[in-house]
A and B are shown apart, each in its own frame.
Chain A
Amino acid sequence: MLQKLGRIPIGLTLPALAILLVVMGIPMVRLFLASINAPAFSLSNYQAFFSQPANVRVLFQTIEVSAVATALCVIIGYPTAYLISAAPKRLQLTLIVLVLIPYLTSFLARTYAWVVILGDHGLINTLLLNGGVISSPLPLIYNRMAVYISMVHIMLPVMILPLVSVMMGIDKSLVAAARSMGARPSAAFWRVFFPLSMPGVRSGSLLVFVICLGFYITPAALGGLRDAMLSTFIASQVQTSFNVARLAASAFILLAVAGVVLSMIGLDLSDTQGRTAQRTQRARQRRLPPFGALRRYFGEGADHYRAKRWMANLYQAGREDPWSILEILYIILVMTYLLLPGVVVIIMSFSAGTYLEMPPSAISLRWYRSFFQDPSWNGAAWTSIQIGAMVTILSTIVGTLAAYGLSRTSSQLRGSLTMVLLAPITFPSIVVAIAAYLGLVNLGLIGTRTGIVLSHSIGAICYVVVIVSATLATFDRRLEQAAKSMRAGPLQTFMRVTLPLIRPGIIGGAVFAFIHSFDEVVISSMVSGFSIRTLPLKMWENMRNEIDPTIAAVASLLMLLPILWLGALYIFWWRSRPQLQSVATV
């Protein structure tokens, strides 16, 4: 069966599409019909949307904020990922885990931490005031800059991880080869390494942009007076009137916007390296003819010096450069940015008072006790872990198959199928929640774990597909052909050749799948039927009125988990050094 499916690559996407169809596909089609007033068919809901200038304005603002945040993520994330991928294996793993930590800090605790850091009497202002740098507090919070600071902070892991998994798959000897043939380091980078890393940039940007489109709580909490997003409007629509047809219209407009923007940056995630490189090459030639001529002119003149330098560099070609001071500083800076809010949360979690304070006036473990002694807290955590594990297994298998299938289909089909699979993270979560509810209620799955696992998996699959696709793009398919030529079956080839090579991408996808499930609140609250309590549901209860400081303790414990795991791994390495190589490839 699997072998047969393997021969029709598109068949591998079937499990993912089937889950999507069952959970939200059919209700989504009905929602679409509702938005065009079927069976009477009219565009009145769309006209109503566009007739309000505020909607159009906020739509552009949403695109602008998301695009800027994505660009910032690329600018900060690319060098970070480059340095991580060039680091020694053990340091590399540590850095990857550290990069993931902001993503593990509960959303509520993180937003709270940013207020503590950026506020008028926050960490930065206090530091600057005490140092005599400024005389009155800088307005760091409640403006657009604060929105970007917090959005980029949370989105950086989503950008860095696909980049790292792609960069780790790039054959470094290609860069060395370019250098050995006289390319300057910058030329070797821009003309060899950079084009090869493009699939990672595309996957990362795509995920970041799409997720940013749906943001609204962070801009509301840290932004200024005008910082509304389309989802802010949608949320207030839901609260005051809840008109399904209007809501669906706004959701499909958002999906269309995402589709248009993404088709511009390229939906073709699995584009193979050769074609990308060729295209970039062609684009460069087309775009810059006068510069090209100019460069050739100067290039000829510089030949003599280049030849000299080539001789000097020849013997260094193979070695991996250790980081320079500048690069070390850069990594420290990025890591501080990524980890500071987490550190603040950990410190605040030891507050003795009834609320979170920074710095705590007295130290206590009361919020940890509150977590471990109250079954409504630790029970919810256990439920979330179990659900998260099931979601991870299901979506990693199904998502990897889909990514594999997509990489072997025609690029047009691939583009539209990718967009379909990405719908669950592109739509505002309230719309996905309504669709999932309608999809699951008829199967009797509301209020069941199966229901929650399925409804989380549709989003989790997106992460796996995007990240695995990026790794597959740098994957040399001739290795598979070689295996097959030696009489390995498709399954055997996949298990023994393809799978080990794309493992970084699969692990990255699995991590995000788990976190997606672990963090999900809107869909869970709809599908849980008030009978299943997940950790985020527990964290969000009574949010309108107060924040329970226990969330800081929970967030600290969550951050501690990967660090403990890392520590255990180091001990394991230290004790079994011969196995180093095989473990380090993880």
Chain B
Amino acid sequence: MRRREFLTTLSTIAIAAPYVSRRVWAQSQGELRVQLYGGDVGKANIEAYAKPFETETGIKVIPITDDISLPQLELMVTQNNVTIDVVAASPATNMVAAQKGYLEKIDYSIYRKEELDAILEFAKQPYGVAGEVYSWVMFYNEEYFPANKPRPTSWAEFWDVKKFPGVRTLETGQYGSEGPWEEALLADGVAADSIYPMDIDRVFASLDKIKPHIRKWWTTGSEVQQMLREKAADIGNCYDGRAALLIDEGAPVEITRNQAKLTCDYWGVVKGSPNAQNAQKFIEFATRAKNQAAFAQRIAYGPPNLNAYKLIPEERGRRLSTHPDNLASGILLNTKWYSEIGSDGLSNAERLRDRWNQWILL
């Protein structure tokens, strides 16, 4: 229903111009346009997945390094102008795109059973397979919380500003689909396995308590990274990959993986992709243990295929979000709950977003 409404809205917007031929994207069978991100992640994606895939199949991979937003995906599909075959998207984008019908179903029939069984359950969705798993962890400044004094280990202790004073930062909740929601509930004493469905009132009641001690709600990984370097906050949450990088640089930063929140980016095949079959092949290739092990050695993101750990040195493995020990101490972000739509037509993510926007201006 929602989806049909959407398509009609867009088709009314589009101008019908039959006299102008639509640009047809000439894509040969031997080519695949894949969103691989830029920077270090992009390099790791190219080395671990794109190059070996080209060698094995002879299909040329054209790396797309831009981030892709929901409107771009929507316009491409609704305007019949699909210029990318494989997208890598956050769970929220993947779920919404799937609901709206902009993604092809993942063809799990081409996966080998031993590989498929080793892939984490939440990483296998009808319209997406996880490429990498990352988490939000608690960080603190080692100089501010030295080893010979008590250090915070849980979100309840993070909220305990008397025992652990210090300037705090948490991720912004402005997008709704991610924010300090789970942390707030854990701090309020909710058990890890009963976080979902979230009690939104309780989330904000808990956030009320920590708000006066927050200096900044950060919006991007690069921003919180800079805050850590500049020592603009003593304690907060951030992506594990960012923190790992800082620790490697020698910054006085320590993290705790206890109650870390795990999520992943999903590969997806764009609806109407002229190379859908090759796209499915690429995604299958990228989820094999061997290739994921190669990826995880290049950059500190967790492989969703647990068989990869057989090929990764133990010391390296412990630093990754999906290492069995880290999986046990962490919690999984429930994307499905976020995209559930209530009686008012709003998803839980939208509900959180609207509530946040109101709460933040008070």
Contacts and interface: CB of A to CB of B under 8 A. Distances in A.
The answer on A and B forming one complex is yes
B71 A34 contact: no
Given A120-B231, A242-B74, A441 B211 contact: no
A47 interface: no
Contacts of A102: none
Contacts of B71: 238, 242, 430, 433-434, 526
Contacts of B223: 221
A243 B99 CA distance: 13
Pick the most buried of A119, A240, A544: most chain B CB atoms within 10 A of its CB.
Answer: A240
A442 B14 contact: yes
A224 B358 contact: no
B96 interface: yes
Interface in B314-341: none
Contact of A443 (B20, B220, B358): B20
Contact of B220 (A34, A357, A543): A543
A530 B360 contact: no
A34 B14 CA distance: 11
B205 interface: no
A354 B70 contact: no
Contacts of A128: none
A437 interface: yes
Contact of B221 (A55, A238, A434, A546): A546
A57 B46 CA distance: 46
Interface string A352-388: 0111010000000000000000001000000000000
B215 interface: yes
Interface residues of A, number: 76
B111 interface: no
A354 B6 CA distance: 45
A239 B70 contact: yes
Contacts of B241: 545
Interface residues of B, number: 72
B190 interface: no
A243 B96 CA distance: 11
B247 interface: no
Interface in B93-151: 93, 96
Given A34-B9, A537-B66, A542-B41, A240 B17 contact: no
Interface stretch (B48-56, B153-161, B255-263, B345-353): B345-353
Interface string B242-282: 10010001000000000000000000000000000000000
A441 B67 contact: no
Nearest to A376: B65
B230 A121 contact: yes
Contacts of B180: none
B45 to A, nearest CB: 11
Interface in B198-235: 211, 214-217, 219-223, 225-226, 229-232
A53 B358 CA distance: 7
Contacts of B242: 545-546
Contacts of B25: 447
A563 interface: no
B191 interface: no
Contacts of B195: none
Contacts of B69: 238-239, 525
A115 interface: yes
Interface stretch (A9-17, A226-234, A323-331): A226-234
Pick the most buried of A30, A241, A243, A528: most chain B CB atoms within 10 A of its CB.
Answer: A241
Interface in B79-101: 79, 81, 83-84, 92-93, 96
B216 A240 contact: no
21 contacts: A33-B12, A38-B12, A52-B357, A57-B361, A120-B232, A142-B215, A228-B174, A232-B174, A236-B175, A238-B70, A240-B177, A355-B229, A434-B75, A441-B22, A441-B81, A530-B83, A542-B42, A543-B67, A545-B239, A546-B225, A548-B39
Interface of A: 26-27, 30-31, 33-34, 38, 52-55, 57-58, 61, 112, 115-116, 119-122, 141-142, 220-221, 224-226, 228, 232-233, 236-245, 353-355, 357, 376, 430, 433-434, 437-439, 441-447, 525-526, 528-531, 537-538, 540-548
